[in-house]
Amino acid sequence: MRYLNKEQVISKLMRRNKKDYLIVDGYNIINAWDELKDISITDLEHAREKLIDAIIEYAEFTGRLGIIVFDAYNIKSCKEKIEKRKNITIVYTKEHQTADSYIEKFIGTLSKYDDVKVATNDYAEQQIVLGKGASRITSRELKLDLENAKSKIKEKNTSSYKKIQRNWLEDRLDKETLSKLENIRRNR
């Protein structure tokens, strides 16, 4: 019989409790996607909500924990605000804190066994993320992942809808029994 040492036991437990994260640099993605960028010009809140809704849907489908970080770098006397919705967390950073610095700090708190993807187009941030053991995806790759997830959701919903058919007794009985029941019905 082989015994595990303390480090091996801890390592096994950590791998078992591994979590999958998708961390999104919110404004970076909004400015990278044309449809959100156009909306943000007139209504930044609406653009944020559209991104949040897309990430919620993606997180629910993939099982990843979504974290969207919006920075308040140039906003005076702003305090950090964390909002939880379904499978995601939305972070509004404090004054003088960028989304990049928040993301770097957050990744540092995670287990080395966690699967972490960071969505940003910021090249410097991508390099830092890779250096911390996370993977990075560009805004384009995130958009493709979201579209792929949406099509799989539609596929799943369509196939489950097709399975829902009428559930009538006449569909389950043989012709002889149906004939007898029909005769009984008519004689009444």
Task: Give the Cα separation of 111 and 14 in Å (integer).
Answer: 8
Query: Residue 136: enclosing H or E segment and its boundaries?
Result: strand 135-137
pLDDT one digit per residue (tens) for the chain, 188 residues: 566 666 665 555 556 678 899 999 999 999 999 999 999 999 999 999 999 999 999 999 888 999 999 987 556 667 888 999 888 999 999 888 888 889 989 988 888 888 899 999 888 788 888 877 788 999 999 999 999 988 888 887 776 655 556 667 777 788 888 888 888 888 86
Classify domain 7-162 by CATH architecture. 3-Layer(aba) Sandwich (3.40)
Q: What is the pLDDT of residue 52?
A: 95
Going by their DSSP bridges, the two strands 65-70 and 81-85 should be labelled as unpaired
Task: Give the Cα separation of 180 and 115 in Å (integer).
Answer: 63
Task: Give the Cα separation of 148 and 154 in Å (integer).
Answer: 10
The single-letter code of the amino acid at 10 is: I
First and final C-alpha spacing in the chain: 77
Q: Is the pTM of this model over 0.75?
A: no
Domain spans of the chain, in order of start = 7-162
Q: What is the pLDDT of residue 129?
A: 81
Q: What is the pLDDT of residue 91?
A: 93
Give which of 100, 139, 134 is closest to 117, Cα–Cα.
134
Query: What does residue 96 show for φ and ψ, rounded to 5 degrees?
Result: 70, 20
